[in-house]
Amino acid sequence: MLEPTAAAALPTDVDAVAVPVHDDLRAPDGAGPAPGPELLRRCGFEGKPGQAVILPGEDGRALVAVGVGAPGGFDAGSARAAGAALAGQCSHLRSVATTVLAAGPSAGGGAAPGLASALVEGALLAAYRYPGARRKPPVHDLEHLVVVGADQAELARGTVSARATSRARDWVNEPAGSMNPTRLAQVATELGAASGFAVEVWDEQRIAAERLGGILGVSAGSATPPRLVRLAYEPAGAVATVALVGKGITFDSGGLSLKPHEGMLTMKGDMGGAAAVLASVAAAAELGLPVRALGFLALAENMPSGSATRLGDVLIARNGTSIEVLNTDAEGRLVLADALSLAVEERPDAIVDVATLTGAKVIALGNDVTGVMGTSPDLVARVLAAGRAAGEPAWELPLVQEYRAQLDSEVADLRNVGTGRAAGSIMAGLFLREFVSDVPWAHLDIAGCEMAERSEGWLTKGGTGWAARTLVELLRAW
């Protein structure tokens, strides 16, 4: 993986030098030699964050102009975009040194906090490639990024959070035929040993013995068994306990309420929430954050078969709530019902769940914004702020109490779907709320965010690793 290092001054032994250029086509003080404004204009370069051009420089090195926007406007978002643009222009080079941080405000001699880490995140994430099973896997040659004026600890922080995102991308990208519940649980076990957090895996028998009826009901039609994974990063002197809960449907066919072909194509990504939770707990451990982070991964495959849950069947969740299943494609909330119940039993200070939960969220907010609901305004505010800082925007949706009656059932405590198609994301949120008791709770609906149709900026085509950095930032800022 691309490795960032800090330096006090521009080194000479690099393939390229990347300098910041504002939207007036001038370089800030201390940025070093930049291409002239006339040349940049002819290249179509306007100095916007996310733009970069590569030109011949002196001494056989390439010179990269990196857009940093209006003077005085350089923030974490523009730093992330600048890092991504830089990595995009330099994919064929081995080493680049950059003075981009000269565009930002400085604090006590060094760059302001958050800028260097965001720059590194952008570069590392734009350079992400999934090798897959191709004979010629795609490569990104850039190996060394020297950041002038950066604090090494800031670079390390950016590297850890980019690695969290990259890991989540890998797990989403891996085909569902191999990335099944057993395999994802195994990945968690290995990562726990490597990064320093505890991992407990419950197999199907244990899941039955513990009465996780939602997970059993969803996996009933699948030939591959479910898993419930509990993660625990428990530093001494922790200031709070935060429980993270992830939807881990390793493939969502819809079950007997089978999805149409088009809707099923991206459903290997339906474990994106569990991927984000696993990656962020690992990052919390790697960063040594002073927060106790618990993780619950509800892992199952949703398939149709002779043993599948039928429409009208009733499942009993861990907390005793009975659920009438009227649509087997609303399976995420069934597995989350059990995982949320388990999280509540540990009496954490907060529960945050992450799930690719509803197509309705994609209709409401699109593929680049997380939908947030919750019972605690303070917790929701923390999540929205973390998403903003991480460059993963989030927007709150209301838990409309008037709609709750739609979940009333004639034969059970709850139906798993509302009576129509209206407010689908909110109906799912209202359903989940039944399982969080009085623990402050926030729900992140990341449907559509987990996979990108094309590469753009720091996002690469395929798995995005969405919400991993939001969670890391949430824990870091706690």
> Which SS3 state, helix, strand or coil, does residue 62 take?
strand
Q: Does 473 bind Zn ion (CB under 5 A)?
A: no
Q: How far is the CB of 332 from ligand BES (least distance, A)?
A: 5
Among the listed residues 232, 245, 230, the one whose alpha carbon sits nearest the alpha carbon of residue 200: 230
Q: Which stretches of 57-197 are assigned E, i.e. beta strand? A: 62-67, 95-98, 106-107, 110-111, 144-148
Q: Decide if 259 is catalytic.
A: yes
Q: Does 445 bind Mn ion (CB under 5 A)?
A: no
- Interacting span for Zn ion (CB under 5 A) from 188-196, 220-228, 324-332, 467-475: 324-332
Instruction: Give the distance from CA 116 to its chain's centroid.
Output: 20
Site for Mn ion in 240-299 (CB under 5 A): 252
Q: In which residue are the tokens 């079950």 written?
A: 255
Cα–Cα distances (Å) from 284 to 154, 195, 294, in that order, read 15, 9, 11
Q: How far is the CB of 311 from Zn ion (least distance, A)?
A: 16
Q: Does 324 bind Zn ion (CB under 5 A)?
A: no
Cα–Cα distances (Å) from 449 to 41, 195, 318, 370, 425, in that order, read 35, 26, 29, 7, 14
> Which of Zn ion, Mn ion, ligand BES, none sits in contact with 294, Cβ below 5 to 8 A by type?
none
Among 204, 329, 353, 450, binds Mn ion (CB under 5 A): 329
Q: How far is the CB of 430 from ligand BES (least distance, A)?
A: 12
Among 252, 301, 353, 392, binds Zn ion (CB under 5 A): 252
Enumerate binding residues for ligand BES (CB under 6 A).
252, 270, 327, 329-332, 356-360, 362, 417, 424, 447-448
Q: Decide if 333 is catalytic.
A: yes
Q: Does 270 bind Zn ion (CB under 5 A)?
A: yes
Do the Cβ atoms of 97 and 148 come closer than 8 Å? yes
Nearer to ligand BES, 249 or 471 (CB): 249
- Interacting span for Zn ion (CB under 5 A) from 121-129, 179-187, 234-242, 248-256: 248-256
Instruction: Give the distance from CA 95 to its chain's centroid.
Output: 28
38, amino acid identity: E
Nearer to ligand BES, 174 or 450 (CB): 450
Q: How far is the CB of 287 from ligand BES (least distance, A)?
A: 29
Do the Cβ atoms of 272 and 468 come closer than 8 Å? no
* 271/269 Cα distance (integer angstroms): 5
Using CB under 5 A as the binding criterion, the count of chain residues that bind Zn ion stands at 4
Nearer to Zn ion, 235 or 263 (CB): 263
Which residues, other chains included, contact 402 with Cβ-Cβ below 8 Å and sequence gap of 6+? none
Catalytic-role residue among 333, 361, 382, 469: 333
> Which of Zn ion, Mn ion, ligand BES, none sits in contact with 360, Cβ below 5 to 8 A by type?
ligand BES
Give backbone dihedrals phi and psi of 378, rounded to 5 degrees, phi first.
Answer: -65, -45
Q: Work out the number of other CB atoms within 10 angstroms of the CB of residue 41.
A: 12
Q: How far is the CB of 291 from ligand BES (least distance, A)?
A: 29
Do the Cβ atoms of 445 and 429 come closer than 8 Å? yes
> Which SS3 state, helix, strand or coil, does residue 279 take?
helix
Nearer to Mn ion, 249 or 389 (CB): 249
Catalytic-role residue among 26, 211, 259, 388: 259
Nearer to ligand BES, 51 or 470 (CB): 470
Nearer to Mn ion, 258 or 385 (CB): 258
Which residues, other chains included, contact 10 with Cβ-Cβ below 8 Å and sequence gap of 6+? 17, 32, 97, 99, 146, 148
Nearer to ligand BES, 280 or 356 (CB): 356
Binding mask 200-239 for Mn ion (x = CB under 5 A): ----------------------------------------
Residues designated as active site: 259, 333
Binding-site ranges for Mn ion (CB under 5 A):
252, 329, 331
